[in-house]
Amino acid sequence: MHIRPRRNRQSEAIRNMVRESRLHTDQLVQPLFLVDGRDLQEPIASMPGQYRWSRELLLEEIDRCLEVGISRFALFPVVADANKDKKATYGHAPGNFYLKAIRTIKEIYPDVLLIGDVAMDPYSKDGHDGLVDAEGTIVNDETLPILARLAVAQAQAGIDLIGPSDMMDGRVRYLRDALDEKGFTQVGIMSYTAKYASAFYGPFREALDSAPKSGNKKTYQMDPANAREALREAALDEAEGADFLMVKPALAYLDIISAVKNQTNLPVAAYHVSGEYAMLMAAVKEGWLELEPAVTETLTCIRRAGADIILTYLAKAYARMLRANGG
Ligand code: PBG
C-alpha cells in the first residue's frame, strides 16, 4: 500500500494543519429576545439557556457576549398582545421598546453589529409575517409598505442591517428603495432568502408568542422539498440589492447552503434555528449527547457546507468553549 489517507490524521498537529473549515467568533451571530419591562429575564421553556430580556438585563447579556468575542446580534421583540393589531402598527410606533433598545445598545456599544427583524408577525394579531385580508389571504403588495415602515423606523433607531424574514415577493427591492429614499444608503439587507416552512420554528414562536392564529405559512415560506426554488429566490434577492443571502433552517438544508454558495458572490448566512437548538439541548439534558463536541461538529459542518456567517443560539456558548480551550 503506498497511499494511506490515515497518515494525514495521525497527530493533532497534522489534523489541525489539514483542517479545511474553521469557525471564528467573528462569523457568529447571537439571536436575542427582547421584552418590554424592567428586571426581566424570563426563561423560554423549549429553549433552555435562552431568555426574554428586558433592556437593562439585555445590555448585561450583550456585555457577557462581548467578553467572549461575540459582538453581532439579531434582535427579536416579544410584544404584548395589547400592542398587536392587524397592521403591525406598534412595530413602527415612535420610541417603542424595541426601537429604544436598538438606540441604547448602539449608544453604549457603537461597535456592536445589530440585525433588526423585519416582518409583521411579532406585532400582528394574526401571527402572520404579512397582512391578512378579509378572506384570510396573506396579501403581498399591501404588506410591502408596512415592512418599509418597520425597516425605516429601525434604521432611524440606528440598526446596522435589517433582516427581512417575511418572504414576501419583491421586498428586498422595495426595502432598498425605502431606505435609500430616507438617506439610509449604508443600512444593509441580510435577506432571509431561502426560508422554509419548517417545523423547527416552534420554540421561537413560543418565545415570541407569535404562532399564526389561523392557517400556516406555506403560501410564503418555501416547501422543504424544493431546492431549485431556493436558487430562484437567491437570484431575485441578489438582483433586488440584498447584501447577504440567508438559508434557514440550517442542518436539514446543508445542500441548499452549498447550492446558494455556488451561485452567488454575496456572503451566505445560515440560521441554525430554535428547533435545532432545542433538539440538541434536550439530548444534552438527558445525557444522550455531549454538548461541546456536538456543538462544535454542528457549527463546523454548517460552515463546511458554505455558510460564511451562522446565526445560532449557541454563539455565546461556543465562544466560551473556544476561550476555555485556548482557541
Ligand atoms: C418570523 C421568524 C421566525 C423565525 C425568525 N423570524 C419564525 C417563523 O417564521 O414563524 C424563526 C427563528 C427560529 O426558529 O429560531 N418572521
Q: What's the gap in Å between 89 CA and the centre of ligand 1?
A: 19
Q: Please tell me the total count of domains within the chain.
A: 1
Residue 115, ligand 1, Cβ within 6 A: no
In a domain, 195, yes or no: yes
Residue 196, ligand 1, Cβ within 6 A: no
In a domain, 233, yes or no: yes
Residue 143, ligand 1, Cβ within 6 A: no
pLDDT of residue 327: 65
pLDDT of residue 326: 80
In a domain, 189, yes or no: yes
In a domain, 164, yes or no: yes
Q: What's the gap in Å between 19 CA and the centre of ligand 1?
A: 33
**pLDDT tens by residue, 31-65:** 999 999 999 999 999 999 999 999 999 999 999 99
Q: Write out residues in the chain with pLDDT < 70, as ranges.
A: 327
In a domain, 225, yes or no: yes
Query: Which of 120, 162, 201, 253 is the pocket-test mutation for ligand 1 (most atoms within 8 Å of CB)?
Result: 201
Residues labelled as active-site residues? 195, 248
Q: What's the gap in Å between 117 CA and the centre of ligand 1?
A: 10
Domain hosting 32: range is 22-324
In a domain, 45, yes or no: yes
CATH code of residue 253: 3.20.20.70
Residue 274, ligand 1, Cβ within 6 A: yes
Which pTM does this prediction carry? 0.97
- Three-state SS for the chain is CCCCHHHHHCCHHHHHHHCCCCCCHHHEEEEEEEECCCCCEEECCCCCCCEEECHHHHHHHHHHHHHCCCCEEEEEEECCHHHCECCCHHHHCCCCHHHHHHHHHHHHCCCCEEEEEECCHHHECCCCCCEECCCCCEEHHHHHHHHHHHHHHHHHHCCCEEEECCCCCCHHHHHHHHHHHCCCCCCEEEEEEEEECCHHHHHHHHHHCCCCCCCCCCCCCECCCCCHHHHHHHHHHHHHCCCEEEEECCHHHHHHHHHHHHHCCCCEEEEECHHHHHHHHHHHHHCCCCHHHHHHHHHHHHHHHCCCEEEECCHHHHHHHHHHCCC
Q: What's the gap in Å between 205 CA and the centre of ligand 1?
A: 7
In a domain, 302, yes or no: yes
Nearest CA to ligand 1 atom 7: 201
Residue 304, ligand 1, Cβ within 6 A: no
In a domain, 3, yes or no: no
Q: What's the gap in Å between 15 CA and the centre of ligand 1?
A: 37
